[in-house]
Structures are given as structure tokens and as C-alpha cells.
């Protein structure tokens, strides 16, 4: 390595940032990877932590351990507060600054309430491990409180679970909560029949899994209804509060509401003063650089990348990884003086979603799958993409256990207890 | 079962309360088990959660699930605020009251600071899952902050870990933290050498593991020192603050302090207005009832039970279980009109403590063991006492992994992140 190697700073160790880091191995650059968390999170399985199927440590890995053998990479735990693009520095919240030659922003997205941030306390979203343990606590506490509630109407509201948004996360949450109530918890309570719990999936659009082909949407809807989920389509939610939701012209009393309806990008566009879409995503150039900043790449959920048909590249792990890999290839080509690769193009590797522990929908484009076979493919694919042999073993064991016994091992109410909720 | 069966209320689902519940099966009584947490916690392995070896869900089980097949048991999530012994009611914090015919208080203990409660923010103790994740976060953040600290003195304080109290918990924490620094984390950082971290175990008494025979204390001390732990005996701590500790006439700058030095009983004695010792334990009668309340049993860490030699029954899981079993046997005998069993007597099943992942000390009374053989016996015994096949499998897998690779899987900084600490 040269004495003053080119310094690439990557912000965010999600799928995009981590993939960019990996693809810069032996590129003759020095990499600093900054994240405000110490762990990389396998977000596609986060709903399984929220629904007591997996433990937090089964889907999260210390970032610096993943990169321990990469002596060219320095991992930094820190929160980025801004970018000084003129001075080529990343500014951290604690006042420190990190100089870069090339910057890759892979800072992701948070759930968003479309101008109704006041709904957040009543309808938490699912993006971090803490979000997942918060939702887990609320789910389990609702059953506990229902067990002690003698007023029938209040008990009914405690046993009503509303999920807003019927994309893959909403569908997966609804299916698993229905199984939790009907299968896992059955027989544990004395005063309530948990199988009487209502799980209501509310979607503003006309079908569930809108990113899939219509026949898979229909299949998923039927599979949800077989599990006992009530699916309400074409119903925008106009109110969330401590007593429930209002959708269409109806009020539904419910003590547990989960938000799976929308995301907003990280503040990367604000840091750069770059043009952004309504969700805050940076309108990147075809080579994923920020407009006017050819030394700054923006990848993953915080980048607005249009497909030839005008739709956006979806906010899924494979898309973020492809963008991270692409940014790394452009950086390598520039340093070597090679021809710069053509504009980023997205390869759709397929859409996957599970409905409970028996059904799944897979849309590979060239082939559509559903039912048990799809469920097994989904499970094997996710175990394959987990990092490390140990987590593969424990997740496989957890799933085998749930599949055969219906029992979920992570039914813990932590951080709160009965008093705070 | 009779129409109005005798109602036994058990408060606390730790080892004592759960064992009493179990031993009342088919006794013709109705049992209500109240706990403020939804899970039973396997406290002997809590230090392994604090030191990133095990996941929270590997050592905790939902109480109501453990008792799902016991239709005579109602599990209640609730916090007890008092006892109205005249009206025979347990009073809950939310205003509800639960009537009992017989009451078993198994409410345990919390860590205590001997009149220095102001030390708690700087030197957290280890009794709950939240305590364990708090300590885990502090340990991991100290290394992260040291990596970014350029001032050598401050870095030194960040890499100094003080454990106060050299009972089994303190010894086990010190040994595991030393291994974490020297083995698990080695190679993950770029600016610090984690093997240079200091782990200092401070004890007011003259030996470690004072409950064991002196030769095992000597062995444990040597084993700790081989792992690089500095053992300071006969050194009462006179100050804990944000900068470190003062012990003897020395100040030791340290950013991470863990309290393993003392416990105080639950407020059970206050609820009853019963005589208590200095640590708040109820001075129970020989049959474990509270003085003047023959319908109220007090078992486990919240009971003061003297041994024939004047020492106290130790605050360990087997002692609590024996007391729970004994209370159940007295209740059964009373209801049947059988002869009441003689006074409670404690059978010492042995003291166990591990030092890292290669050594342990076991004092069975009739035989003393140490070294690798003791470590294997310790491990097998703990897996045996875990509840359920699934947790036995996952804990065994976790340990096998740590044993062979040195890697610990639960290295997560959650609930806080870099900003709050």
C-alpha cells in the first residue's frame, strides 16, 4: 500500500456500506467505516425478533468483528452530524471530523409517518433492534393486561392488533402475530382465549404485497385470511392514538398498533444540500454520485434511483448490496485509471415474503412460487445470507423448533415491565 | 378439586417461588403466582449475558409457559406493593388486591451499596436482564471509546475494568472480562491493544470465594491471576464515581465499575412489619413462616435462616429451591392434617464458581475439585439445571463455540448507543 493511500470513508454498515467495504478489499485504499451502532443488522429478519421467534443476537453481528481480518479497514463507532464537502470532511456529533478522499453515504432510512409524527408513540415502526424489542414488549404486555382486564370492551381492545401497511414487513408481522396468538400462546392463559385475538392488517392501496405480481398478492391475502388475519384494503388510516385507529369511516379500538407503512431517508441529502425526493432520498447521478459531488457516492435506501420503467429501485437488501458493489467498482476504476463502468443498473433478484410458518410468496420475475415449497426456499435463502456458521446454526435450530413445536423462545418483556406501559 | 379450594398465593417466580409452585401440584389447592416480570431468570448464568457469552433469551423463560399444563395455577404479571395480613390480601401497585389463604413470599434480593446508593450510577449491579444488558453495553462502549481516545491517560481509564466483590459473581465476571479482552476482542481494533486492558477485582475480605474452603480460594486467585486479573484483597472501597474508585489509600482511574459486593432483601419485611436483619431479610420461624403469621411463608433470598454453626443459609439457587419445596410440604401437611414436617434444614449441595473457560472451583464438602474437570462438571451441571431441551441445546452450542473459537456471539450495544453514555 502506498504511503498515503486513497482514503474512502463509508458511513453506515448496513447492506450497502458493508458490501462497498468488502468490494474495496485489496484495492490499495484505506477504508474507514463509521456507524452509530456497533452491529450490522440483518433487517429482513427483524420482524422475527419483534414476534419472539429469534433472539436479538441471532440477527446482529459486531461490525468490527466482521472486518477484523481487513487490516485496511478502521471501524469507528460514531454518529455523523454532517458533511463538509468543500473541506472533504465528515463531521461527527461529538465534534470530531474525519477527512476523506472519497465518501460513500449508505445511511439508510427510518420509518416515517407522512407528516403525522405524533402517531409514533402509538404506532411504533420497525427498523432497529430496539424497535423490535419495543414491539415485542407491547405485544406480550397486551396479552398480559388482557388476562387481568375484567371489562370486556377494554379486553377486546387489548386483544386487537393492528398492522398498518401490507408490504412484506406488514404481511410478515401480521402472519406471525396471528400464529403467536393461535398457536404459541394457546393454553398459557387462564382468563382469555388468545385464539380470539384479532389481527387486522390495514393497507391504503388495493392489494397486499404491491411489489409482487397480482396473483401472488391474492395468494398472500388468502393465506393471511386462513391464519385468521383480517385484511382491510383501500383503507387509508386517518388517525392513530392511545385508543386505536380510524380508517375509512371506522374507528377500531386497539391497544397495539404497528407501523409498517412508510419510510423516510436518512438526512444525507441535508448534509450535502443535494436535491432530494419527497421521502428525502438523494437524487443521485447515474453513477450513484451526488449531483455536483463526484467524490461522494450515495447508495441504498437513502438514494433515489429510477428504473427504466419509472419505478424506483426498491428498498431491499439485494438492491443496497448491488449499489455498494457498484460504487466500489467505480472507485477502483478511477484509481486504476481504467474505464469507468456504465451507469448503475438494478438486477431484480426476486421478491420474497413469508406468511406464517407454512406459506410464502416468491416472485423471481421468470418464475413465481408460493406455498410450502416457497417457504422452504425462503428459509434456506435467509439462512444462506446470514453471516457466519454459528448464526446459521442457531437460526436454523430456532426455526426447526418453531416449525415442529410452535414454541417461540424469545418471549421476553424487557426494558419496561408492567409499570412503564 | 373442592368447590372452594385453598388458595395459595406465591409472590416471585424465582427459584424459590417456582419450586413451591411445582411442589404444590395435585395438592388440591389453587395457586396464583405473581411476578413483576413475565420471565423466570436463570440467575447463575446472568454474568454470561453481561459478558456477551449468552443471549438474554437463552437464560429466561416465560413463567406462564413453564406452567401452562398446570391448570391449577394462574400466573399474574403484576408488582406487589404490600400485604394486608389482617384481611389476607396481597396489594398490587395498580390498586388490585388478591386474597389468599396461604401466602408464600419469594421476592428475592437486589444488589445493595451499604448506605452508598449514590454509587449505583457508576457501579451497576447484576440482578436482572436489564442489569446484564447495561453492563454489556458499558463494557463494549469502553473499548469503542478507547479506540477513539487519543489522550493516553483517558484511554487507560477506559481500558480499566473494576469489579467490586470477589464472591462467585465477581470472580466469574472478572475471569470472563479478562478473556473477552485478551481473546475475543483481540484483533478487532486498530488503535488499541485490548489485551492491555486491566481487570481489577477488589475485595474487602481476605480471600476470594470466601464461602469456599481456603485452598479453593487460593486456587481461584491463582487462576484469575493467570488470566491477567489483578486481585486486591483486604481492600474496602471508600468511593465510586465517574472517574473511578478509591480503595485503601489509592485512587484507581476506571470508566467501568461493576458492583458484585452485596445484596439487600426485597421489602417483604416492611410489607409484614416483621423483624428483619440488617440486609432486610425477614427473621423467619424454624418452619419458614413470618413471626406471628403462620399463614405466611418467606423463602429464598428474602428470608433470614440461620445454620447450626450460626452462619446464614447462602443466597444461592439450591437453597431457595429447598425452602420453596419445604414450604409446599408444610402447606400440604396442614391441609391433609398430616404431621407437620420438622424445622427446615439446609442441605449444602456444594459451591461452584468458574474462572474463565478453562478453570472452575467446586466445593461439595466431601470432595473439592478444581481445574478443567471442575469446569466440565460446572458446565454439565448448569446445562442440566436449565429448563427445556431447546435452551440446553443452544447454551451448549454457545459454550462449545466460545470454547473452540473464543468468539462470543452476543456482542451487542443496545438501548443507548454512543450518545447516552
- Going by C-alpha positions, the residue among B405, B250, B353 that lies closest to residue B44 is B353
d(CA A267, CA A289): 16
Least-confidence region, from B13-22, B110-119, B235-244:
B110-119
Q: Is A413 helix (H, G, I), strand (E, B) or coil?
A: coil
Per-residue pLDDT tens digits of chain A, which is 421 residues long: 456 899 999 999 999 999 999 999 999 999 999 999 999 999 999 999 999 999 898 899 999 999 999 999 999 999 999 999 999 999 999 999 999 999 999 999 998 998 899 999 999 999 999 999 999 999 999 999 999 999 999 999 999 999 999 999 999 999 999 999 999 998 899 999 999 999 999 999 999 999 899 999 999 999 999 999 999 999 999 999 999 999 989 999 999 999 999 889 999 999 999 999 999 999 999 999 999 999 999 999 999 999 988 889 999 999 999 999 999 999 999 999 999 999 999 998 888 899 988 899 998 888 899 998 898 888 888 888 888 777 888 888 888 888 787 787 778 887 653 333 3
Chain centre distance of CA B2: 39
Q: Which of A65, A77, A410 lies closest to B57 in CB terms?
A: A410
- At A416 the pLDDT is 54
Q: Give one DSSP letter per residue of B295-324, joined into a string.
A: EEEE-GGGEE-B-TTSPBPPSSHHHHHHHH
Chain A residues close to B147, C-beta within 8 Å: 76-77
Q: Residues of A with CB below 8 A from B56's CB?
A: 55-56, 410, 412, 414
Task: Kindly identify which residue of chain A lies nearest to residue B71, measuring between CA atoms.
Answer: A190
Catalytic site residues of A?
172
A contacts of B133 (beta carbons < 8 Å)? 414
Residues of B in contact with A69 (CB under 8 A): 187
C-beta neighbour count of A377 within 10 angstroms: 16
* All residues at 6 or more sequence positions from B173 whose CB lies less than 8 Å from its CB, including other chains: B47, B50, B51, B126, B163, B258, B260
Closest C-alpha among B345, B303, B394 to residue B59? B394
Nearest to A244 by CA among A200, A208, A205: A200
Parallel, antiparallel or unpaired: strands A229-232 and B73-77: unpaired
Separation of CA B47 from chain center: 8
Closest in A57, A64, A147 to B189, CB measured = A64
Buried b (16+ CB within 10 A) or exposed e, B140-170: bbbbbbbbbbeeeeebbbbbbbbbbbbbbbb
Å from B348 to nearest chain A CA? 32
Q: Domain B7-36+78-111+263-336 in CATH: superfamily?
A: FAD/NAD(P)-binding domain (3.50.50.60)
Return the pLDDT at A26: 95
Give residue A420's pLDDT: 32
With beta carbons less than 8 A apart as the criterion, state whether A360 and A353 touch: yes
| Tens digits of residue pLDDT in B268-327 | 999 999 999 999 999 999 999 999 999 999 999 999 999 988 889 999 999 999 999 999
Residue A262, pLDDT score: 85
Sheet strands side by side (includes B359-363) = B351-355, B359-363, B368-370
Report pLDDT digits (tens) over B150-200: 999 999 999 999 999 999 999 999 999 999 999 999 889 999 999 999 999
The span from the CA of B119 to the CA of A74, in Å, is 35
Please, are residues A222 and A207 in contact by the beta-carbon 8 Å criterion?
Answer: no
Measure the CA–CA gap between A270 and A89, rounded to whole angstroms: 15
Distances from the Cα of A385 to the Cα of A12, A42, A380, B230, angstroms: 19, 9, 9, 43
- Domain ranges in chain A? 7-36+78-111+263-336, 117-261
pLDDT > 70: what percent of chain A? Answer: 98
Q: Are strands B102-105 and A29-35 parallel, antiparallel or unpaired?
A: unpaired
Spatial separation of the C-alpha atoms in residues A115 and A15, rounded to whole Å:
28
Kind and range of the H or E element at A91?
A: strand A89-92
Task: Tell me whether residue B285 is one of the annotated catalytic residues.
Answer: no
Return the percentage of chain B with pLDDT > 70, whole number: 98
Residues A203 and A248: beta-carbon distance below 8 Å: no
Helical packing angle, A389-405 and A372-385, nearest 10°: 150
pLDDT digits (tens, 9 = 90+) for B354-378: 998 889 999 888 889 999 989 888 8
Under the banding of pLDDT at 50, 70 and 90, the label for residue B417 is very low
Instruction: Work out the minimum CA distance from B188 to partner chain A, whole angstroms.
Output: 5
Does the distance separating the beta carbons of A56 and B56 come in below 8 Å? Answer: yes
Domain B117-261: top CATH class: alpha beta
The pTM of this model reads: 0.91
Nearest CB to B68 within list A76, A187, A393: A187
pLDDT at B420: 32
Report, as an integer, the average pLDDT of B10-27: 97
A212, A351 in Cβ contact below 8 A?
yes
* Residue B417: closest C-alpha in chain A: A37
Contacts of B397 in chain A (CB under 8 A): 390, 393-394, 397
The band of B2, judged by pLDDT with boundaries at 50, 70 and 90, is: low
pLDDT of residue A418: 36
Confidence of residue B416 (pLDDT cuts 50, 70, 90): low
Three-state SS for A382? helix
Q: Residue B418 has what pLDDT?
A: 36
Query: Could you tell me the strand order of the sheet in which A244-247 lies?
Result: A237-241, A244-247, A250-253
Mean pLDDT over each residue of chain B, to the nearest integer? 93
Q: For residue B108, what pLDDT is reported?
A: 96
DSSP state of A194: G
CA distances from A68 to A8, A38, A327, B190, B405 (A): 17, 13, 22, 9, 14
* CB-CB contact of B131 with B125 (8 Å): yes
Phi first, then psi: what are they for B86, rounded to 5°? Answer: -65, -45
Closest alpha carbon within chain A to B400: A390
- A336-374 burial, b at 16+ Cβ within 10 Å, e below that, comes to eeeeeeeebebebebbbbbbbbebbbbbeeeebbbeeeb
Q: DSSP letters along B39-76, please?
A: EEE-GGGHHHHHTTSS-GGGSEEEHHHHTTT-TTEEEE
Using CB atoms, which residue from B60, B415, B417 is nearest to A36? B417
CB spacing of B417 vs A188 below 8 angstroms: no
Concatenated DSSP letters of B231-257: EE-S--EEEEETTEEEETTEEEE-SEE
Amino acid at each position: 500500500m502506498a504511503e498515503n493511500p486513497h482514503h474512502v470513508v463509508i458511513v453506515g454498515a448496513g447492506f450497502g456500506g458493508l458490501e462497498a467495504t468488502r468490494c474495496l478489499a485489496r484495492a490499495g485504499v484505506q477504508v474507514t467505516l463509521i456507524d452509530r451502532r456497533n452491529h450490522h443488522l440483518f433487517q429482513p429478519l427483524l420482524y422475527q425478533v419483534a414476534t419472539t421467534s429469534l433472539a436479538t443476537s441471532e440477527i446482529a453481528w459486531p461490525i468490527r468483528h466482521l472486518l477484523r481480518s481487513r487490516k485496511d479497514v478502521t471501524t469507528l463507532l460514531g454518529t455523523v452530524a454532517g458533511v463538509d464537502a468543500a473541506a472533504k470532511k465528515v463531521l461527527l456529533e461529538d465534534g470530531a471530523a474525519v477527512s476523506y478522499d472519497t465518501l460513500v453515504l449508505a445511511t439508510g432510512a427510518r420509518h416515517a409517518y407522512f407528516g403525522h409524527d405524533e402517531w409514533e408513540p402509538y404506532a411504533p415502526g420497525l427498523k432497529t433492534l430496539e424497535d423490535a424489542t419495543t414491539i415485542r414488549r407491547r405485544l406480550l404486555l397486551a396479552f398480559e393486561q388482557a388476562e387481568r382486564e375484567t371489562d370486556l370492551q377494554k379486553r377486546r381492545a387489548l386483544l386487537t392488533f393492528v398492522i398498518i401497511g401490507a408490504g412484506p414487513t406488514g404481511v410478515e408481522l401480521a402472519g406471525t402475530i396471528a400464529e403467536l396468538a393461535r398457536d404459541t400462546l394457546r393454553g398459557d392463559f387462564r382468563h382469555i382465549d388468545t385464539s380470539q385475538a384479532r389481527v387486522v392488517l390495514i393497507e391504503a392501496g388495493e392489494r397486499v404485497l404491491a411489489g409482487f405480481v397480482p396473483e401472488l398478492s391474492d395468494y398472500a391475502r388468502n393465506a393471511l385470511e386462513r391464519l385468521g388475519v383480517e385484511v382491510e384494503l383501500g383503507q387509508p388510516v386517518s388517525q392513530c392514538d392511545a385508543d386505536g385507529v380510524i380508517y375509512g369511516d371506522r374507528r377500531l379500538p386497539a391497544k397495539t398498533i404497528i407501523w409498517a407503512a412508510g419510510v423516510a431517508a436518512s438526512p444525507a441529502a441535508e448534509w450535502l444540500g443535494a436535491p432530494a425526493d419527497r421521502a428525502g432520498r438523494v437524487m443521485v447521478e447515474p453513477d450513484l454520485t451526488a449531483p455536483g459531488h463526484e467524490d461522494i457516492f450515495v447508495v441504498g435506501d437513502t438514494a433515489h434511483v429510477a428504473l427504466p420503467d419509472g419505478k424506483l429501485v426498491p428498498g431491499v437488501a439485494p438492491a443496497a448490496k448491488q449499489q455498494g458493489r457498484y460504487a466500489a467498482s467505480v472507485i477502483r476504476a478511477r484509481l486504476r485509471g481504467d474505464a469507468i463502468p456504465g451507469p448503475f443498473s438494478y438486477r431484480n433478484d426476486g421478491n420474497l415474503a413469508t406468511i406464517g410458518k407454512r406459506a410464502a410468496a416468491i416472485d423471481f420475475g421468470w418464475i413465481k412460487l408460493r406455498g410450502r415449497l416457497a417457504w422452504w426456499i425462503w428459509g434456506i435463502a435467509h439462512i444462506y445470507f446470514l453471516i457466519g456458521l454459528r448464526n446459521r446454526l442457531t437460526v436454523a435450530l430456532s426455526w426447526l423448533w418453531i416449525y415442529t413445536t410452535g414454541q417461540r423462545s424469545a418471549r421476553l418483556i424487557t426494558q419496561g415491565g408492567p409499570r412503564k406501559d
